[in-house]
Structure 1
Amino acid sequence: MPNFAGLITIDPKRSIGSITAMVTLEEVSTDTLQVTEHPVEQGANINDHAFVQPSEVVIRCGWSNSSLSGLLSGIGQSVSALFGGSAFGSDYVSSVYNQLLALQQSRIPFDVSTGKRTYQNMLMRSLALTTDPTSENALMCTVVCRQVIIVQTQATTLPPRDSQATPQATGEVANMGTKQVATAYPAPGGWQPPNG
Structure 2
Amino acid sequence: MPNFAGFITIDPKRSIGSIVAHVTMEEVATDELHITEHPVELGANITDHAFKKPADLVIRCGWSNASLGGVLSGVKGLVSALTGGDAFGSDYVSGIYNQLLALQESRIPFDVSTGKRLYTNMLMRSLSQTTDEKSEYTLMVTAVFKQVLIVQTQATTLPSKENQAQPQATGETSDTGTKQVATAYPAPGGWQPPNG
TM over 0.5: yes
Interval containing the TM-score (normalised by the shorter chain): 0.7 to 0.9
- Counterpart AA for 2:64: S
Cα shift readout 1:141-192 (whole Å, capped 9, x = no counterpart) = 0000100001101011112212052448832659xxxxxxxxxxxxxxxxx8
Structure 1 gap segments, 5+ residues each: 175-191
Residue 44 of structure 1 aligns with an amino acid whose one-letter code is A
1:87 maps to which residue?
Answer: 87
- Which residue in 2 is equivalent to 1:20? 20
Q: In 2, Cα distance between the equivalents of 1:114 and 1:161?
A: 55
Unaligned runs of 5+ in 2: 176-191
SS of 1:85 mapped into structure 2:
coil
Partner of 1:97: 97
Instruction: Find the counterpart in structure 1 of residue 148 from structure 2.
Output: 148
Deviations 1:73-129 (A, max 9, x none): 101111111111111121100000000000001100000000111010000000011
User: Hey, what does 1:73 align to over in structure 2?
Assistant: 73
How many residues end up aligned between the 2 structures? 174
Preserved CA contact (<8 Å) 2:65 2:138: yes
Q: TM-score, normalization: structure 1?
A: 0.82
Rounded Cα–Cα distance in structure 2 between residues aligned with 1:141 and 1:164: 66
Quote the residue 1:116 is aligned against: 116
Q: Is the 8 A contact 1:164 1:171 kept in 2?
A: no
Share of identical aligned residues, percent? 68
Distance 1:45 1:166 in 2: 31
Return the letter of the residue paired with 2:51: F
Which letter does structure 2 place at the counterpart of 1:148?
V
SS at match of 1:125: strand
Aligned-residue Cα RMSD (Å) equals 2.2
TM-score (norm 2): 0.82
1:10 deviation in Å? 5.4
